[in-house]
Amino acid sequence: MQPSRDFITALVERHVAEGRYTEIVTRFPPEPNGFLHIGHVKAIALNFGIAAKFGGRCHLRFDDTNPETEDESFVRAIQEDLHWLGYDWGEHLYFAADYFERMYGIAEELVRKGKAYVDSATEEEIREARGSLTEPGRATAYRDREVAENLDLLRRMRAGEFEDGEHVLRAKIDLVSPNMVMRDPVLYRIRHARHYRTGDEWCIYPMYDYAHCLGDAFEGVSHSFCTLEFENNREIYEWVLEAVGFEEPRTHQYEFARLNLDYTVLSKRKLVRLVREGRVSGWDDPRMPTVAAFRRRGVPAEALRSFSGMVGVTKAEARVDVEKLEYAIRDALNGVAPRVMGVLRPLRLIVTTWPEGSEEWLDAPSFPPDVGKEGSRKVPFARELLIEQDDFLVEPPEGYRRLAPGREVRLRYGYVVRYDSHDVDPATGEVTVVRVTHDPASRGGDAKGRPVAGTIHWVSSGHALPAELRLYDRLFNVPDPSDVPEGTDFTVHLNDESLVVIGDARVEPSLADAPSGTRWQFERTGYFWPDPVDSSPERLVLNRVVTLRDRWTRKEGTPRAEKGASLAALTPVGPGPDRGRGERDAARAHDPDLASRMASYREALGLGEGEADLLTGDRATSAFFEGALEVHQQAKSVAAWVINELPREVRGRPLTELPFGPDELGRLVGLVDEGAVSRVAAKKVLAELADRGGDPEVILDRMGLRQVADRGAVFVHVEKVLSNWPAKVEEYQAGKRGLLGFFVGQVVRESGGGADPKVAKAILEERLG
RNA sequence: GGCCCCCUGGUGUAAUGGCAGCACAAUAGCCUUUGGAGCUGUUGGUCCAGGUUCGAAUCCUGGGGGGGCUACCA
C-alpha cells in the first residue's frame, strides 16, 4: 500500500524524480507583526516537513517590509514559538530587510529595462485609474516617462527628497489585465518611518509582491508555499522573477488552503482586535488560538503537530472540527499525564463510621493498567471528605451511576460507601452535607464482587490543597464567528463563559510535590497544569488544558454543533486556457472561417453540435482535428480523441508546441479503430507522444502494447488473475459485482497492457458466472 | 466582456480511468476501581445533467454551489 500523500508532497516528489532541483528548499515567511497561531502551524509543518522529507532545508525568513506594523518583539516571540513547536532552521535565519539594497538595485534595473516607472499620481488617482473588477484600468499621466527621468526620480525617492505618497514605483505590465494584481502593481512606496531592523536607512520600502519572490529567489528556495488568497499573486511572482532574469530551475509558488477552526477566528486582524480591546488578557490568553496561548494553557507541542498531520493539505477551503484538536490533545496527554484527584465544586461527605481524628494514607497508582506505567502516590483518607456536587443527586435521573439516597458508590482507591443521610439548606434548597457509612473490607476500592453504582473521586477535607482552577471553553458560541448579522461584527459571538474561574477548588496533597511542568489528569474531569504565569507554590493556579471525553453529559443533550460550508484541492503548474462556450461563440463570430467549419463539421462530417462547437473554438484546435482527420477519416472517433483525451496530455501547452502533431494522433486513432491497440494502451502511447514525441507504431511495439484480442491468449491471463485473487473471486460471487472492473484491470495489467478489456470482460463474466 | 480557484459521509481527507478507504464525530456492544483509555460492530458520501469509455469520484461539456481578487498590507 502506498502511503497517501497530499498534493504538495506528490508535486515535490515528482520534481525530485525528474531531477528538477538539486536541493529542496522551502521557507516559512512570517511577518513580525503578530503571534503565530494554529493556522501557521499547518504552514510550518508543511514547509519544515517537506524539507525534512526530501533531505532539504527550510529557512525562517521574516517578511519585514512594512516598518509601520512590525516589531522586534514579534521576531523573538515567533522564534520562541517555532522552537517550542520543535522546528529548527539552523543558520538559515533571514530577513527581507537585509535584502533591501539588492532589491533596490534590481528596481533600478527594471527601470532601465523599461519594465517599471515612477508614478507621481496620488494614491487616490492610482486607485481610480486601476479600474474595477468589471472595468479596465487606464494609464495615469506618468506611465510613459523616459527611462532617465524614472531613474532620476527613483534615486531621489531613495535619497529622501520626497514626502510620503508623492511618488511610487510601479511595474509596467498591463492595465487591462483581468487579474487586478497585474494592473501595474506598486513595487515601492515612500514611507518615512523607522524600521525596527534597518532604522532610518531607508525611506522607501518594497511591497510584498516585489519583495517576497525576490527573497525566495535570493535564498535558492525551490518551492514557495502559501495560502489560497495569494493565487492571483502567482502571476506577478512569476512576472518579477522573469523580468529580473532568474532562470530555471528557480522558485515557483504553490498555494494550499489555510486552516479554519470551528469556534474561533484565525485572522490576524481579528486576533489583534481581541487583544487590543481587552476581550482576552493577551496574545497568550489560553483561550486564544495562538501557539503562545496553547503553550501557556498546557497543550503539548506534539498535539499541535499531530493535529496538523490530521487535517491534511489540499486546495479546498475547509473548517476543521475543534473536536479533532481536542482529540489530538487528549491523545498526547493520556499516556503521560499522571492521574490525581481534584474536586472542582466541593460537597462535604462525612463517613460516619470512620473514627474522628483518624487518617489513613492509601496507595493510589498514577496510571491505569492500560497505560502500562509504573508509579503511585499516597492519598489521605479521613472522616470528612469532599466530593463533587454533581456526584450526589437526591433524585437521580435514569442511568445515573453516582451517589444517591439508598445507594452505594466506590470512592476511588478508597472504600465503598453507602448513603446514610443528607442535609439541605432550607434557604437555597442545596445539599450541604451527605453522610455515608463505609465498608472496611473494601479498602482500596475492592467491592468484593458486589455491584456498585459507580466510582467517584474525592479528597480529604483536612488534607486537600486549595487551588484556583481556570476552566477554558471555546471563545465563540458559533462555528463560524465571522458569519454575522448585518451591522455587527464577530465579537457578538463571543462566549461569555469561555473562562470560568473556580477560586476554591480542592486538590489532593501530592500536587505539591510534583515536578514543575507536570500535566495531570484529574480523574473524571480533565487535564490540568499550573499556569506558568500566575501559579506559585503558595497559590496553585491550574489551567484546564482540555476536558476528558464525557459520554454521560453528552448524552444528557448538549447538541452537536452544526457545520458551516466548505470548499476544496490541486494546483497544476501551468495555467490551462479554459475556454467557455461564450468564448468559443465569440471566436466564431469574429472568424467566419471557424463559423463555417462548425457548420460543415455538423453537416458533412455528421458531428453533434457539442462536438462541432468544441472543435471550432479556435483555429489551432480545428486545424489539429482536421490534420488528424486527413490521416484517419473517422470524424467521430478522431473528434472524441481530440476533445476527450488530448487536453489531459496537452496540459495547457499550445497545440503547435507539442512534440507530436495531428498526423501522429490520426495514426494512433486509426490503430485503435482497426483493433491493433486497445484504448487504454493507446492512451499510454498518447502520453508518451505528449512527453517525448515519436512514431505511434514504434512506441506501441517498444512498449509491447499491441492488442491481444485473441480469446485464447486473454483466457490464459484471466485464469492467472483468478487464481491470484481467490478471496476477491469469492467476494464477487458473494455479490460484490463492483469487482469486475478490478478483475479487468488485473487482466490488462497481467498482459502487460495489451489485452483487449472487452474480450477480458466477456471471458471474466463467463468464468465468474 | 470580469478574472482565478474549489466541490467525496455530519466534519477533515484518500483512491496510476478498475474493490469508494481512513480519521474525528455519532451510534451499539465488550472491557473497565476514571461515564477516561482500549477493542469490536453499525449508520452515513462522490453537487446536478449530458458525453467519452468495456469501466468515470477521476477525462470532456453545460449547469449549480462556495471562496478569493478592485492596499502605497502581507
- The pLDDT tens digits for A305-357 are 999 999 999 999 999 999 999 999 999 999 999 999 999 999 999 999 999 99
How many DSSP H helices and E strands does chain A contain?
26, 27
CA distance A417 to A399: 19
pLDDT, mean of residues A257-286: 95
- Rounded to an integer, what distance in angstroms lies between the CA atom of residue A137 and that of residue A184? 9
**What is the structure's pLDDT at A416?**
97
| Residue at grid coordinates 463505609 | A438
Whether A741 sits with its Cβ under 7 A from any strand B atom: the answer reads yes
Catalytic residue check, A161 = no
> Which is more confidently placed, A579 or A327?
A327
Using DSSP bridges, classify how beta strands A25-28 and A57-62 pair: parallel, antiparallel or unpaired: parallel
Residue A701 C-beta-side C-alpha neighbours within 13 Å: 4
pLDDT at A660: 87
Cβ atoms A623, A630 nearer than 8 A: no
Query: Cβ of residue A728 near strand B, that is under 7 Å?
Result: yes
Q: Which of A507-511, A515-519, A609-613, A760-764 has the lowest average pLDDT?
A: A609-613
CA→C1' distance for A312 and B13 (Å): 6
| Residue tagged 496507595 (cell numbers) | A363
Which three cell numbers, joined as nine digits, stand for A716?
A: 490464459
**Residue with CA nearest C1' of nucleotide B3:** A178
pLDDT number for residue A554: 63
A190 touches strand B (CB under 7 A): yes
pLDDT at A727 over 80: yes
pLDDT of residue A505: 97
pLDDT at A556: 53
Q: pLDDT at position A330, please?
A: 98
pLDDT band at A557 (very low <50, low <70, confident <90, very high): very low
Percentage of chain A lying above the pLDDT 90 cut: 68
The pLDDT of residue A710 is 80
If one compares A623 and A210, the residue with the highest pLDDT of the two is A210
Q: With cut-offs at 50, 70 and 90, classify the pLDDT of residue A578.
A: very low
pLDDT in tens, A417-450: 999 999 999 999 999 999 999 999 999 999 888 8
For chain A, the average pLDDT equals 91
Model confidence at A154: pLDDT above 70: yes
Residue nearest to nucleotide B35 (CA to C1'): A552
Q: What cell numbers appear for A564 in the block?
A: 458551516
Residue A4: predicted pLDDT: 65
More confident residue, A451 or A391: A391
Rounded, the Å distance between the CA of A333 and C1' of B37 is 11
Give pairs for A359-368: CB < 8 Å, separation 24+. Answer: A359/A460, A359/A462, A359/A463, A362/A413, A362/A414, A362/A443, A362/A444, A363/A413, A363/A444, A364/A339, A364/A412, A364/A413, A365/A339, A365/A413, A366/A338, A366/A339, A367/A338, A367/A339, A368/A339
Residue A607's pLDDT is what?
Answer: 85
Provide mean pLDDT across the span A196-225.
98
Distance from residue A618's CA to nucleotide B62's C1', rounded to whole Å: 19
Q: A120-134, A148-162, A325-339, A568-582 — which is least confidently predicted? A: A568-582
* The residue count for chain A: 769
**For the stretch A68-104, what's the b/e string if a residue is b when 16 or more beta carbons lie within 10 angstroms of its beta carbon?**
eebeeebbebbbebbeebebebeeeebbbbbbbeebb
Q: Check pLDDT > 50 for residue A564.
A: no
Is the CB of residue A314 inside 7 Å of nucleic acid strand B?
yes
Residue closest to A636 by CA, chosen among A662, A664, A607? A607
Number of other CB atoms surrounding residue A633 within 10 Å: 11
User: Of residues A31, A80, A128, A719, which has the active-site annotation?
Assistant: A31
Confidence class for position A571, pLDDT limits 50, 70, 90: very low
**Residue A175, CB, less than 7 Å from strand B?**
no
Does the structure show a pLDDT above 70 at A186?
yes
Strand B nucleotides where any atom sits below 7 Å of a protein CB: 1-8, 10-21, 23-27, 32-38, 50-56, 59-63, 65-74
Alpha-carbon distance of A456 to A391, in angstroms, equals 7
- Asked whether residue A69, judged by its CB, lies under 7 Å from any atom of the DNA or RNA strand B, the reply is yes
Average pLDDT score over residue span A455-471: 97
Chain segment A397-409, per-residue pLDDT in tens = 988 999 999 999 9
Q: Quick check: A579 pLDDT over 80? A: no
A194, A258, A667, A761: the active-site residue: A258
Do A623 and A662 contact (CB within 8 A), yes or no?
yes
DSSP code of residue A527? E
Do the strands A458-460 and A384-388 form a parallel or antiparallel pair, or are they unpaired? Answer: antiparallel
Pairing of strands A416-424, A431-438: antiparallel
Q: Within its chain, how far is the Cα of A655 from the centroid? A: 36
Q: Determine which of A32-36, A68-72, A178-182, A513-517 has the lowest per-residue pLDDT on average.
A: A513-517
Render pLDDT for A476-500 as a digit per residue (tens, 0 to 9).
999 999 888 778 899 999 999 999 9
The greatest distance separating any two alpha carbons of chain A, rounded to the nearest whole angstrom, comes to: 109
A168-171 and A116-119 beta bridge pairing: antiparallel
Rounded, the Å distance between the CA of A738 and C1' of B43 is: 22
Residues 636-655 of A with CB under 7 A from strand B: 637, 640, 643-645, 647-648
pTM for this one? Answer: 0.89
Banded model confidence at residue A465, pLDDT cuts 50, 70, 90: very high
Residues A623-667: tens digit of each pLDDT = 888 888 898 998 888 888 888 888 777 766 778 878 888 898 889
* Residues A162/A122, Cβ–Cβ less than 8 Å: no
- Residue A470, phi then psi, degrees to nearest 5: -110, 110
* A63 CB-to-strand B distance under 7 Å: yes
Strand B reaches within 7 A of the A322 CB: no
Please give the helix or strand (H or E) that residue A149 lies within, else none: helix A147-159
Cβ-proximal residues to A487 (8 Å cutoff; 6+ apart), any chain: none
ipTM of the complex as predicted: 0.96
Q: Quick one: average pLDDT of A357-366?
A: 96
Establish whether A584 is a catalytic residue.
no
Question: What is the rounded distance in angstroms from the CA atom of residue A769 to the CA atom of residue A765?
Answer: 6
* pLDDT over 60 at A563, yes or no: no
How confident is the model at residue A306, as a pLDDT?
Answer: 96
The residue type found at A611 is E
pLDDT value, residue A555: 57
- How would you list the strands of the sheet with A520-522, edge to edge? A339-340, A520-522, A526-530, A540-547, A465-472, A499-507, A342-343
Q: DSSP letter at A403?
A: B
What's the rounded Cα separation, in Å, for the pair A681 and A19? Answer: 27
Note if A113 is an active site residue.
no
Cβ of A180 near strand B (under 7 Å)? The reply is yes
- Please state, in angstroms and rounded to a whole number, the distance separating the CA atoms of residues A622 and A599: 12
| A606 CA – B33 C1', rounded, Å | 81
| Cis preceding-peptide flag for A300 (omega within 30 of 0) | no
Higher-confidence residue: A691 or A88? A88
pLDDT in tens, A652-709: 677 887 888 889 888 988 888 888 888 888 888 888 888 888 898 888 888 877 777 7
Per the listing, cell 502567482 goes with A234
Give A246-251 contacts, CB < 8 A, sequence gap 24+.
Answer: A246/A217, A249/A20, A249/A21, A249/A22, A249/A222, A250/A217, A251/A213, A251/A216, A251/A217, A251/A220, A251/A221, A251/A222, A251/A223, A251/A224
List strand B contacts in A 352-381 (CB < 7 A).
367-368, 370-371
Cα A441 to Cα A273: distance, rounded to the nearest angstrom = 60
Is A627 within 8 Å of A662 (Cβ atoms)? Answer: yes
Q: According to the model, what pLDDT value does residue A429 have?
A: 93
- Give A579 CA → B65 C1' in Å: 21
The three-state secondary structure class of A304 is: helix
